[in-house]
Each structure stands twice: as C-alpha cells, then as structure tokens.
Structure 1
C-alpha cells in the first residue's frame, strides 16, 4: 500500500499562514508608524505585534521544514494552530485599542 499523495495542499497551507503572518507584520509596522513621536503605548504595541508576527512566521516555517521529509507535512498541528490563532486575536485586540484611543 502506498502513502497518499497530499498534492499541493501543504504548499497552499504554508502560503496561507505566511500571508497571515505578513498581514500581522504590516499591522505592527502601522502601529509603530502611528505611535512614532506621539504615543509610547502604540510604539510598544507595534514592537510587541512585530515580535509576535515574526514568531508566527518562524513557527509555521519551522513546522513545514521539520515535516518536509514526511509524507504529509504537519502544518495542521494543534499547538501551532492555537498559537497562531492566539496571535491573530492578540493583534486584533491591539488594533482595536489603537482605533478606539485614536
């Protein structure tokens, strides 16, 4: 019995996670730009968002690199998905704070 061919699904999943991370990075940059010179809170939030976004990018890339030799890359690991979803939620809350306090 042969192993199932995952096709391009793992590649598409990796690209989707990278797009999400890139959007989070853009949010961090915008928070930094909006807080530059006026608000230490926004600058701090921008730095935190950038660090978390880069961490999300690195985590997803590491999972993909680790599983690349396997038959099916494990991009659906529960821990990575929970961390990434939590990061998206935290960034959303930071953005909501930035909009409300504007």
Structure 2
C-alpha cells in the first residue's frame, strides 16, 4: 500500500514559485531603477534575476523528480536555507539601491 502525500507537495511547489516570482519582480525593478544611470544596479538586477530563475527551475525539477513520492524534498533543510539566503541577498541589494538613490 503506497502513501498518498496529498496536496502538500503541490502547495509547497506553489509557495516556492510565488517566492521565485516575487524575486523576479524585484530583479526587474532593480534593472529598471538602474537603467541608464547605474551599472551597479543593473548588474545587481541581472544577478538577482539569474538566481531567481535558477530557484524556479530547481524547485520545479525537484518537484517533478519526487512527484508522488512520500519524500517531501521541497521542504528539505538545505533547500530552505538556500532560499532564505537568496531572500537575504536580495534584501541587501534592495537596501543598497534605496540608500544610493
């Protein structure tokens, strides 16, 4: 008899995607604020956009690989730490962009 993980993995995937989408929007705002004025902001926007898209792709790959399995890899401690680190880095970039405005 196999275990049914229910909808929890799908809800977790959607939460990760919302986080990545928020980071992508943030990157686009950094790019827009640095367009034509600051190469640093443009560079930070490109870095954040790249990391955000990588987060989206990685979470989608983990979900596809473990779909239907009782293991909830999307909630793994390393994945959570990486996401928290990414959000912290984006926050520092945003702080820099606001302070140098």
Q: Report the Cα offset of residue 87 of structure 1.
A: 0.6
| Structure 1, 64-73 or 26-35: larger mean CA deviation | 64-73
1:10/1:72 contact within 8 Å kept: no
**In structure 1, how many angstroms separate the alpha carbons of the residues matched to 2:3 and 2:47?**
41
Q: Deviations over 1:17-41 (max 9, x none)?
A: 0000000000100000110000000
Q: Structure 2: state its 5+ residue gaps.
A: none
- Counterpart position of 1:18: 17
Q: Structure 1: state its 5+ residue gaps.
A: none
- Counterpart position of 1:39: 38
1:31/1:46 contact within 8 Å kept: yes
- Counterpart position of 1:29: 28
2:4/2:68 contact within 8 Å kept: no
2:9/2:74 contact within 8 Å kept: yes
**TM-score computed with the length of structure 2 as normaliser:** 0.92
- Provide the aligned C-alpha RMSD in A: 1.3
Q: Deviations over 1:27-76 (max 9, x none)?
A: 10000011000000000000000011111111111111111142344211
Aligned residues: 101
